[in-house]
Structure 1
Amino acid sequence: MAKRVFDLVCAALGLLLLAPLLLVVALWVRLDSPGPVFFRQERVGRFGVPFRIHKFRTMSHEAPHGPQITVGADARITRAGAFLRRHKLDELPQLIDVLKGDMSLVGPRPEVPRYVAMYPPGLREKVLSVRPGITDPASLQFRDESGLLARAADPEREYVEVVMPAKLKLAAQYVESANLATDLKLIGRTVRLLFSHG
């Protein structure tokens, strides 16, 4: 209950304080390339319930559908999108998902159904027992995931066999030890990394 109240207060304050920035980014996305401001995609939420996540659109709306992982300098990424991804600004609209109750500020990152289907049953039940989050230990450790996958001979296989199991292990560890103090530390680490990222 305390976590949900914390999420609601912080998400509401965040959206209020960041409103000018969100409006500027939305305008930039709209002017940079044709298409909607937001990118919405089905993800798997708490207890396996699907929801549609909000992000600022970072890829060309006319680009053909490609893999559900981003690998290196993906040709689908727009000029504005490259900047937004580098500074994680594309994730800010997920504060809306926190307000709606689909997400939390901190929790395992929500995955697409295709990859969730590959989770080992025990880990799937544990990781999906909490609301997914905007940030978590795995997202901090794999901040340059697209660069890591770009160096792999087979990015899809690298993700499924190496990256995803490592992220699941970190997610399970978070679920086992999560409390408000650890969430505050993770939020602090996330903010510091964002401001220190050049």
Structure 2
Amino acid sequence: MTRVLVASRNAKKLGELRRILADAEVSGIEIIGLADVPEFPDAPETGATFEENALAKARDAVAATGLPSIADDSGLAVDALNGMPGVLSARWSGKHGDDQANLDLVLGQLTDVPDERRGAAFVCTAALVVPGGPEVVVRGEWRGTLIRAGRGENGFGYDPIFVPEGETRTSAELAPAEKDAQSHRGRALRLLLDHLRSLAD
């Protein structure tokens, strides 16, 4: 069994990758998270792009643990805000991880933007770094529009105001399996499946 570290303490991210591996019938891989390894310092996310941040986090995890490691960086790119908050999505309001404040600030910035110009995309870049081996960086995007008030209890971050293309529900109203099938993170992680299969062989 090959252990692969997901450089996250977010149980939802670990669960999502485990479900994707199971659905693709990839066996021989044990997904573990940061709670399962000795603690090491988190490097600040100083990259200008999702790709730079994901790769830096994955490299740090490999250096600290010696395990093949996956890290991701994701966020919301709003058309009317020139692609922001982007890499600043988790700290858009000035305080890291305050989902409601971040969401409220984006809604406030879009108050005067008409519905037909409220396009946005969730973006996820995932990096897989293997000790002494390859570095793979992939990107998944999930297009949609932003509504004016949040709906739904599933998900986190900007999910309650994001309605994916072809949907009337927000991503916070989708069941986990539905979200896995469509989401930016699901799309990026599925692009890593062949690389993970090769680690299991």
TM-score, normalising length: structure 1: 0.29
TM-score, normalising length: structure 2: 0.28
Instruction: Determine which structure has the larger strand proportion and give its number.
Output: 2
